[in-house]
Structure 1
Amino acid sequence: MYDFKPATPLAPEELYRELLAATDALTADEPDSVANMANVAALLWEFLPDLNWAGFYRVGAAKNGAVDELVLGPFVGRPACIRIPFGTGVCGTAAQSRATQLVADVHAFPGHIACDAASQSELVVPVLRDGVVVAVIDLDSPSPARFAEADAAGIEALAAMLSARI
């Protein structure tokens, strides 16, 4: 049986290789996007130290039906904001710009949404399918500057793998 957790502390490149392998093992043959997001949120929690939130926001119709916005998806951590408009906060900025947001100090980010006051840094990576954002992967940490370029590259590879699976 595969444990789905790295046995020892690993260099970032090896850690993300193992995370991708575990993600592939769990999601390759599963057509249900919610199940895949739930398992990947759990993997992120197990693989990445020093997190206080790990999960997904999905693109969905706004309550008023006017424009799309991000809607809370599967996650691990404290309760979170349910809806985030594109362009608002770190997640909404990632969705609108279709670009990774690596934020060392969330309190310095214009329009940051504080779902958990303990969060100090954040990494948000859009999941693109055919160039269109379908979700974002959101990681929060209680430590300032927790995330590095190696984390961004690893989560971008994860997002690419998941683009057809969620």
Structure 2
Amino acid sequence: MNNIEKINFESEDKLYSYINLKLTALICDEPDWLANLSNAGAVLWLLLDNINWAGFYLYKNDELVLGPFQGKPACTHIKLGKGVCGTAADKKETQLVKNVHEFPGHIACDSNSNSEIVIPIVKGSRLVGVLDIDSPVINRFNENDRRYLEKFVSLIVKYVDFPESFV
């Protein structure tokens, strides 16, 4: 079993290197996509400070459907182009939102969320879903978070064998 401990790192770079190392160890030899996404969300939930939700929405039947997550119960279905998740999925571009209350059409699944980052999961040219992380802190996420979380998602794309219904 992979032991993951919360450690105080002296830099975000070291924290994210640790996160990506632990993610790789958990998913590189595991064939089950659901187990892998569940563990990926748990790693972020355990190791990132000041977040109140971390998880996945999967692209299915022309919409995003709630997948594995950590946090309060969430919206089950999100249409493409709607809210931060739907926008990231529709554009296939990371959305880094410093204040969700200023994002047009923001979907408030948790009224305590104030900032959000959503990274699309794209395998080849096909949308698989998104990684969504929320925070109660305004301006919680920055360009460094974006860079490392995009790397995190690239590891998921590399190692996770998604069912045909998602790719």
TM-score by length of 1: 0.93
2:77 corresponds to 1:83: yes
Q: Partner of 2:52 in structure 1? A: 52
Correspondence list, 1:145-164, <5 A: 145-164=139-158
Moved over 2 A (4+): none
Q: Partner of 1:69 in structure 2? A: 63
Question: Is contact 2:2-2:25 (8 Å) kept?
Answer: no
2:107 corresponds to 1:113: yes
Q: Partner of 1:129 in structure 2? A: 123
SS in 2 for 1:81: coil
Give the CA deviation at 1:9. Answer: 3.1
Question: Is contact 1:91-1:136 (8 Å) kept?
Answer: yes
2:116 corresponds to 1:99: no
Percent of aligned positions with the same letter in both sequences?
Answer: 46
2:138 corresponds to 1:144: yes
Give the CA deviation at 1:2. Answer: 4.4
Q: Partner of 1:65 in structure 2? A: none
Count of aligned positions: 160
Give the CA deviation at 1:94. Answer: 0.2
The residue type equivalent to 2:26 in the other structure is L
SS in 1 for 2:13: helix
TM-score by length of 2: 0.92
Aligned-residue CA RMSD in angstroms? 1.1
The 1:79/1:151 distance shift into structure 2, 3 A limit, reads: same
SS in 1 for 2:24: helix
Q: Partner of 1:15 in structure 2? A: 15
Q: Partner of 2:165 in structure 1? A: none
